[in-house]
Chain A
Amino acid sequence: MSESAGTSAPHDHPHGHGSEGETRRDFLALAATAFAGIGAAVALWPFIDSMNPAADTLALSSIDVDIAPIAVGQRVTVKWRGKPVFIDHRTKQQIDEARAVNIAELRDPQKDEDRVQKDEWLIMVGVCTHLGCIPLGQKQGDPVGEFGGWFCPCHGSQYDTSGRIRKGPAPLNLPVPSYKFLTDTSVSIG
C-alpha cells in the first residue's frame, strides 16, 4: 500500500485510481465537511440563545406606575428592567427653559415636544449615555448642573430640563422609553 494513498490532494497520487475516482473522493470529502460544518454551526445556536433573556425575565419587561402622588417639581425614580427610570413632574419654568433652547446648538438635536407625551411629565431612562452611571438630580439638594437638569458624577456630563445632553463627554440625550398613559394618574412603561 502506498503511503500517499491517505491524502486527499490529487497530485499526491501518482499511482492513483484514475482522475474520475479522485473527483468523486474530493466531492465526498467536501460535501461531508460542509455538512458537518453546517451541523456544528447550527448546534451552536441553542447555546448562544440560552444566554438571551429568559421567559421569566421578559415577563417582567413592563411596569405600571401610579403618578398621582408626584407633586409638581418633584422627581421620582422607578426600576424598570433593572434600570432607573426618571419621572419628572416639571414646573412651568422648567418646560419653558427646555423649549427656549436653540435646537441647532444641541449635540443631539431634539425638540422638547418630541421627548414628552404630556408637557409636564418627562419620563426617561436615567442612565448616562457616556458610560452608564446614574446622573444626579433626582433628590433635593443634588447637583443638577448648569442647565437645571441632571449632572453625572462619573465624568461630568450635564443634561438640561428635557434630559438633553448639553455639556460633558456623553454623546446622546437620556433615552425616552416607550410608555403610555393608562389614565391621567397611571403610566405603563415598557
Chain B
Amino acid sequence: MSTSSNAPKKNGIVEWIDYRLPIFTFMNHELREYPTPKNLNYWWNFGSLAGIMLVVMILTGIFLAMNYTAHVDYAFNSVEHIMRDVNYGWLIRYIHMNGASMFFLVVYIHIFRGLYYGSYKPPRELLWWLGLVILVLMMATAFLGYVLPWGQMSFWGATVITNLFSAIPLVGDPIVTWLWGGFSVANPTLNRFFSLHYLLPFIIVGVVMLHLVALHTHGSNNPLGVDHKKNPKDSIPFHPYYTVKDMFGLGVFLVIYAGFIFFAPNFFGEPVNYVMANPLQTPAAIVPEWYLLPFYAILRSIPDKLAGVIAMFGAIFILFLLPWLDSSKVRSATFRPIYKQLFWIFLADCLVLGWAGAQHPEGAPLLIGRLAAAYYFVHFLVLLPLVSKYEKPRPLPESISTPVLAKTEKA
C-alpha cells in the first residue's frame, strides 16, 4: 500500500508491528500521502487549528480539574487558589479561558469557510452534519464550563439558560427541576455540570474522529469547488505541503492567542464573574460569552417565551438543512455572483446579531436585533432556495489545473 516515494523509510520493528496492526500504514495513508487539492488557501487552516484547540482545552482542563473543587462553598475560592497559589495556575487557567474564545473563533471561521465554498454540498452532507454536532456539543461544553467558577455571571447564566427549558409546554418545569437537581441552581447543579463538562470534550473527540473519516472519504473541498480526484495533477500529498502550511498557520495563530493570554487575559470575560455567586442578587446586565451572542439576540428578539426558544434552537438546526436549502450544483461562491453577495450580507447579519445580543434589549438595538434575526431566517428559507434555483453560475473550470494552465499559456 505504501509504495510511493513519499512513504517513510522501512524499519524492522515498524514493519513487524505494521504487519500485525497497520497503524503505520494508516498514518502514512491519512497524514502523509493523503491526496489533497493543490489549491487550498489559508481558510483551510482552521480545521486543523480547531483540532489543536480541542487538545489544548482538554490538556489544560485536566490540570485545572486537579485543583478545582466542585462545591458551591469552595468552587469560587478554588479558582482563586488556582490563580494565586498553584504554580503557573494563572497561566493554565488563562490558556483554558481564552482557549474557549479562540476555539469558537477558529470554528466559526471554519464554518463560514464551508458556507462560502459550499463545503456542505454532496457528497459532504454528513461531514457538515457531524461538524454541526461538534458545534452544538461545544456550545454545551462552553456553557457548562462557564458555570464552574461560580461567579455572578456563572450563576445567573446557568439560571437563565436552564430556564429556557421551562418554555416547553406541560413538562417544562419538571424538566428544569430535573436539570437543577433541586429548586434552583445549587450544589447538585454545580456537581453535575462539572461531571458533564469533563465528559463532553471526549465525546467531541469521538465526533471529530467521525468528522475526519467522512472528510478523508472524499477529501477536502477546495476554493474552486471542483472535484480534485478527476485529474491526478490536481492533488498533492498532505505531507509536507499541508503539514508545513498548517504549522505556519499555527504559529501565526499562537502569536495572537498568546497575546491575549499574556497581555489581555480578561478581554473576553465579564468583570462581574470575579464576584462570587449570590442567589439573591442578579447583576445589572446578563450577557453570555461573545460566541453565543448572535443566538442570544435571536432569543430576545421574539416577545414570546416559547417562540423565542424555538427560534434560538432553530437558528442552529436550520444549518442541518442547508445541503437541501441550497440546491445549486456549483459549490464555490467564486462562480456564484449572487450567492457570493448573499454570503457577505449573511456574515454581516451575524455580526449585527452579535452586536445586538450585547446591548440592552430596548429601543434601537432591539429593533435592529429583530430585523437581523428575521433576515437570518429569510436568508436560509427564502433567499437561498430561490437564488440557488434561478442564479446563473459562471462557467466552472474542468479541473483545478485548467485555469492555471490557461493563464500560463496566455502569458
Contacts and interface: CB of A to CB of B under 8 A. Distances in A.
Interface stretch (A5-13, A90-98, A109-117, A168-176): A5-13
A56 B81 contact: yes
Contacts of B88: 45-47, 49-50
B236 A6 contact: yes
A52 interface: yes
Contacts of B6: 3-4, 6-7
Given A4-B5, A54-B67, 11 more contacts: A3-B4, A6-B241, A7-B6, A45-B88, A46-B87, A46-B88, A47-B63, A50-B86, A50-B87, A51-B63, A51-B66
Closest 3 CB pairs of A and B: A46-B88, A54-B85, A55-B85
Interface string B85-104: 11111011000000000000
Contact of A54 (B87, B233, B240): B87
A108 B183 CA distance: 63
A17 to B, nearest CB: 15
B237 interface: yes
Nearest to B243: A6
Given A3-B4, A6-B236, A50 B85 contact: no
Dominant secondary structure of chain A at its interface with chain B: helix
B329 interface: no
A12 B4 CA distance: 11
Interface of A: 1, 3-4, 6-8, 12, 36, 45-47, 49-52, 54-57
Contacts, number: 55
Given A51-B66, A54-B89, A3 B84 contact: no
A3 B5 contact: yes
A47 B89 CA distance: 9
Contacts of A57: 85
Contact of A3 (B63, B86, B237): B237
Interface of B: 4-6, 59, 63, 66-67, 81, 84-89, 91-92, 233, 236-237, 239-241, 247
Contact of A7 (B5, B81, B233, B236): B5
Most chain B CB atoms below 10 A, which of A3, A36, A56: A3
A57 B137 CA distance: 37
A3 B35 CA distance: 11
6 contacts: A3-B237, A6-B236, A6-B237, A49-B88, A50-B92, A55-B86
A106 B4 CA distance: 69
Contacts of B92: 46-47, 50
B127 to A, nearest CB: 26
B85 A56 contact: yes
A47 B81 CA distance: 16
A6 B91 CA distance: 38
Residue from the set B81, B86, B239, B241 with the largest chain A CB neighbour count within 10 Å: B86
Contact of B86 (A6, A12, A54): A54
B408 to A, nearest CB: 13
A50 B89 contact: yes
Nearest to A49: B87
Given A54-B81, A54-B87, A55-B84, A6 B240 contact: yes
A8 B241 CA distance: 11
A54 B87 CA distance: 6
A50 B66 contact: yes
A70 to B, nearest CB: 34
Contacts of B233: 1
Nearest to B87: A49
A7 B243 CA distance: 12
Contacts of A51: 63, 66
A139 to B, nearest CB: 34
Contacts of A1: 233, 236
B345 to A, nearest CB: 39
Contacts of B87: 46, 49-50, 52, 54-55
Contacts of B86: 50, 54-55
